Amino acid sequence: MKRSDRLVSLTNYFLENPREHTSLPYFSDKYGAAKSSVSEDLDIIDRIMQEEGIGRLQTLPGASGGVSFIPGFSTEKQNKFIDELCTTLQDPSRILPGGYLYMSDILGNPNMVKEIGRILASAFSDLEIDVIMTVATKGIPLAYAAASVLNVPVIIVRRDPRVTEGSSVSINYVSGSSRKIQTMVLPTRSLQDNANVCIIDDFMKAGGTINGMISLLNEFNANVQAIGVLAEADDEEDERVVEDYTSLVKITNVDMKQKTIKVQPGNIAEIS
């Protein structure tokens, strides 16, 4: 195989198998090339990936060494996308009762969901994550988008049990915004003990729903490694019950009388 063909094939392999550790002998056998040639190819791919802001190759030396693709998202591209997202969300026609914003069109746009998932996943790419968790229903597209980048499965918390999912664990929690007692359910087969979990959701106001998911994970002896949300509301009336999280945008002011919205970048800008 020509080097140019090998470079394309290798790049496609890494993009299709993010965070998957692969030994150099595997590539040598696959392409019929010397390890030194493969190593040179990997250096080229790593350089281009970093220049394009899509990630990097991580190599491990030694007999058991190899290489894996760590997804990334350049700060420049991230800031540009978030600024455009803020502009889109500041449309007054998006105001809904209760200070919420209409975001279904964004969550239904494959390209936007893909970019949001890449940004959130890139923020957590260096963490040990076994599974992505979200709550039905609007957080599901974002969870799958992030999971595809991190190459991990998705589990979905629901409001009521389903007979097709077998036995389940349920808890009651207090919704941070409505102060109502609600229920969430997760099948017992969803998680193994001591699993490392990343929680993804579309919107967080006081954080009651996410806090409920954290309590549910405690029943499974799971570890919450990260929490990512598309949008958070900066509401002084509701005390935030979740502190350690990453948000793309922050809704700082919704004036229903004046029909104005102020949206600014979330804390991901500070983290990155």
- At 234-243, the pLDDT tens digits run 866 667 788 8
User: Strand 55-60 to strand 66-71: parallel, antiparallel, or no bridges (unpaired)?
Assistant: antiparallel
Determine the pLDDT at residue 271: 67
Report the domain count for the chain: 2
Determine the pLDDT at residue 157: 95
Q: Is the pLDDT of residue 87 over 90?
A: yes
**pLDDT, tens digit, for every residue of 252-270?**
888 878 888 999 999 997 7
The average pLDDT across 147-168 equals: 90
Q: Is the pLDDT of residue 186 over 90?
A: yes
Q: What angle do CA 127, 130, 136 make, to 5 degrees?
A: 110
Q: Where are the beta strands (DSSP E) in the chain?
A: 55-60, 66-71, 95-96, 100-101, 131-135, 154-157, 168-174, 181-187, 196-204, 223-233, 246-255, 260-265
- What is the CATH number for 49? 1.10.10.10
Q: Does 200 lie in the same domain as 149?
A: yes
**pLDDT, tens digit, for every residue of 8-26?**
999 999 999 999 999 999 9
Determine the pLDDT at residue 101: 81
Residue from 222, 159, 221, 162 nearest 187 by CA: 162
Q: In whole numbers, what is the pLDDT of the chain averaged over residues?
A: 91
Q: Does 155 lie in the same domain as 60?
A: no
Cα–Cα distance, 59 to 83 (Å, whole number): 34
Q: Does 12 lie in the same domain as 128?
A: no
Determine the pLDDT at residue 241: 83
> Which of 48, 71, 94 delimits the end of a domain?
71
Question: What domain range is 64 assigned to?
Answer: 3-71
The average pLDDT across 66-90 equals: 94
Which pLDDT band, with edges at 50, 70 and 90, does 1 fall under?
Answer: confident
Q: Does 84 lie in the same domain as 114?
A: yes
Q: Does 80 lie in the same domain as 66?
A: no
Contact 148, 125 (CB under 8 A): no
Q: Does 175 lie in the same domain as 107?
A: yes
Q: Does 211 lie in the same domain as 166?
A: yes
Residue from 154, 136, 229 nearest 191 by CA: 154
Determine the pLDDT at residue 104: 93
Report how far apart, in Å, the C-alpha atoms of 111 and of each of 29, 48, 73, 81, 201 are: 36, 23, 15, 12, 18
CB-based contacts of 4: which residues, under 8 Å, 6+ apart? none
Q: Does 232 lie in the same domain as 191?
A: yes
Q: Does 28 lie in the same domain as 10?
A: yes
Q: Does 53 lie in the same domain as 136?
A: no
Q: Does 245 lie in the same domain as 128?
A: yes
Tell me which of 270 and 247 has the higher pLDDT.
247
Q: What share of the chain is helix, strand, coil (3-state, %, to 5)?
A: 40, 30, 35
Which pLDDT band, with edges at 50, 70 and 90, does 88 fall under?
Answer: very high
Cα–Cα distance, 137 to 167 (Å, whole number): 21
**pLDDT, tens digit, for every residue of 193-240?**
899 999 999 999 888 899 999 999 999 999 999 999 999 988 666 677
The average pLDDT across 165-173 equals: 89
Q: Is the pLDDT of residue 166 over 90?
A: no
Q: Does 192 lie in the same domain as 81?
A: yes
> Which of 40, 71, 102 delimits the end of a domain?
71
- What is the CATH number for 267? 3.40.50.2020
Cα–Cα distance, 24 to 35 (Å, whole number): 7
Determine the pLDDT at residue 178: 62
> Which of 71, 101, 118 delimits the end of a domain?
71
| Residue-level length of the chain | 272
Cα–Cα distance, 150 to 231 (Å, whole number): 21
